Amino acid sequence: MLALGIDPGTAICGYGFVEARGNRLIPHAYGSIFTTPEMRMEDRLMKIFDELDGLIKKYRPDVMGVEKLFFNRNVTTAIPVGQARGVVLLAAAKNGLRLVERTPMQIKLDVTGYGKATKQQVIYMVTKLLHLEKPPKPDDTADALAIAICTTYCMHNIAWRNQL
């Protein structure tokens, strides 16, 4: 089973493809889609959609995991991230992908065993679980891989899978 994890953002949209083969996790491809502030918002969103749609068509994941929006401090970033998230959901729907949504705390708990883990702890565990030579950069890519890992765990849970 191949899971695609997405960390949505308008400046940096992280993605990661992780295959669950038995109890092994195998990274297939990961990185980030970058846009610049000089681009019009509609062009930034179209770039994210087009690149993500191309990645989905190339790798053919079985499921997509996306972080649920959670803003408790910086509300000004909520709207652009929400717009990017909408484009990500559109790409999932257009390609017929099942969607798994998890909160940041659930993702941290699944990946590190502690729901309040630091970003560095998440990056460390992603690197170890996927047997990567070095930590993925930027942080958005590491977050996307964490989401993909969490998604594979959800899909292996029969009770959870029956909710879809």
Chain-centroid distance of CA 10 in Å reads 14
Of 7, 51, 110, 143, the catalytic one is 7
Strand partners, 21: 24
Could you tell me how many helices (H) and strands (E) the chain has, helices first? 6, 5
- Torsion angle of alpha carbons 102, 148, 107, 130, nearest 10°? 170
Decide: 5 and 154 in contact? Cβ < 8 Å.
no
**140 catalytically annotated:** yes
Find the helix or strand (DSSP H, E) in which 41 lies.
helix 41-59
What's the rounded Cα separation, in Å, for the pair 63 and 98?
5
Of 43, 50, 62, 67, the catalytic one is 67
Of 51, 110, 140, 143, the catalytic one is 140
**19 catalytically annotated:** no
Q: Are strands 2-7 and 24-34 parallel, antiparallel or unpaired?
A: unpaired
**133 catalytically annotated:** no
Which residues are designated catalytic? 7, 67, 140
